[in-house]
């Protein structure tokens, strides 16, 4: 009996394995979550060989979600479980969902909102 692989929690490129799917196209399949938030079932071999490293649907989009990339005030530092640890230009760190970044709901640690409330909107806009 070959040792049962447990890939849950591991990262393969843009994909994070969230759970075991079970038999998939004659092989073992895993539920994976892509950086963009999309879920995809991937076979063990495709993951471990690096053959599949993203959901495959947003090739252009993925370039935006890389360490060091900026979203207005936020610089992407580290990715974990669908969230990015971001460094805000004010010096604060904040955890942001990838989907919040893509929808532009979150553009700062919160300081931007505060400043906008103080009606200094245009001064800090890029």
Per CB under 5 A, residues contacting Zn ion are 34, 36, 38, 55, 58, 88, 90, 92, 108-109, 111
Query: Quick one: CA torsion of 30, 19, 93, 116, rounded to 10 degrees?
Result: 90
C-beta closer to Zn ion: residue 7 or 109: 109
For residue 103 the two structure tokens come to 């929808």
C-beta closer to Zn ion: residue 20 or 37: 37
Q: How far is the CB of 9 from Zn ion (least distance, A)?
A: 18
Residue with tokens 């990715």, as numbered in its chain: 79
- Strand, coil or helix: 117: helix
C-beta closer to Zn ion: residue 27 or 93: 93
């Amino acid at each position: 009996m070959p040792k049962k692989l447990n890939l849950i929690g591991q990262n393969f490129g843009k994909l994070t394995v969230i759970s075991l799917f079970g038999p998939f196209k004659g092989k073992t399949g895993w539920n994976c979550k892509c950086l963009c938030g999309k879920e995809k079932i991937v076979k063990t071999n495709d993951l471990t060989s690096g053959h599949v490293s993203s959901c495959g649907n947003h090739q252009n989009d993925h370039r935006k979600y890389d360490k060091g990339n900026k979203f207005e005030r936020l610089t992407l530092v580290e990715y974990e479980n669908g969230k990015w640890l971001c460094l805000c230009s004010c010096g604060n760190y904040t955890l942001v969902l990838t989907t919040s970044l893509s929808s532009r709901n979150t553009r700062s640690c919160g300081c931007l909102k505060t400043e906008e409330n103080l009606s200094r909107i245009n001064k800090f806009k890029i």
